Chain A
Amino acid sequence: MAKKPNEPAESAPATRSWFAPVGLAWFIPGGGHFLLKRPGRGGLILLSVAAMFLLGLMMRGAMFQPQTGDLLTTVIYTGGFIGDLASGLLYFLATWLGYSQPDMAGHVHDYGTKFLVAAGLLNILAMVDAYEIATGRKD
């Protein structure tokens, strides 16, 4: 029998508010898990993301700025900028405190740039995890 449009789905899990945990998880790595009362996991995420970001700074990695041009340039620079931005407060603190490293040749600088982006990408994974916990899809 067809369901009426206004009838709630019986088997669907109750959708809890996910905006605050995901927003906090972006701004403070691990913050979403702390808000959702998973302090152990939140602490590990905070430690890992912050350590990767700080290692990237100590290796003098460059921050990406969004650029347009050919497709590859747009994907690399805009994607890199999004990756940097995904670290949240760490990125804002670094830029507000004047961190501005030009892109230089050398494997240490190059690893530093990748560490900065990877910290943001790991934080995106943590944001997805916080979203799944908040909506009841995961314990």
Chain B
Amino acid sequence: MPRMSVSHFEACLLFAFFASIVLGVVTRKTDRDRMIYGLRCFGYFVASVFVLGWLMYLGHR
């Protein structure tokens, strides 16, 4: 099994990508709604990463 090393940001993006797919698949009723919800979840995940990242950065100054 190859060993993998990722940054915090890469790990968050990978997590957001796969979690958003499953959240989209299991929540909505039509394929179009599922895709929109999955994309929206991904956007929320990424936005949260930036907001929390800036909060932690400013909190450490």
Could you tell me which A residues sit within 8 Å of B by CB distance?
Answer: 40-41, 44-45, 47-49, 51-52, 55, 57-60, 99, 107-108, 111, 114-115, 118, 122, 125-126, 128-129, 138-139
| A interface: dominant SS | helix
B-side interface residues, number (CB < 8 Å): 19
User: In the complex the two chains form, what is the Cα distance from A122 to B38 in whole Å?
Assistant: 14
Whether B26 and A58, one on each chain, are in contact in the complex, defined by CB atoms closer than 8 angstroms, is: no
| B interface: dominant SS | helix
Residue of A nearest to B10 (CB): A111
Whether A122 and B18, one on each chain, are in contact in the complex, defined by CB atoms closer than 8 angstroms, is: yes
**Which of chain A's residues have a CB closer than 8 A to the CB of B14?**
52, 55, 115
**Can you list 6 pairs linking A and B with CB atoms under 8 Å apart?**
A41-B25, A44-B22, A48-B18, A48-B21, A108-B6, A114-B15
B19 at the interface (CB under 8 A from A): yes
**Which of chain B's residues have a CB closer than 8 A to the CB of A52?**
14-15, 18-19
Whether B21 and A58, one on each chain, are in contact in the complex, defined by CB atoms closer than 8 angstroms, is: no
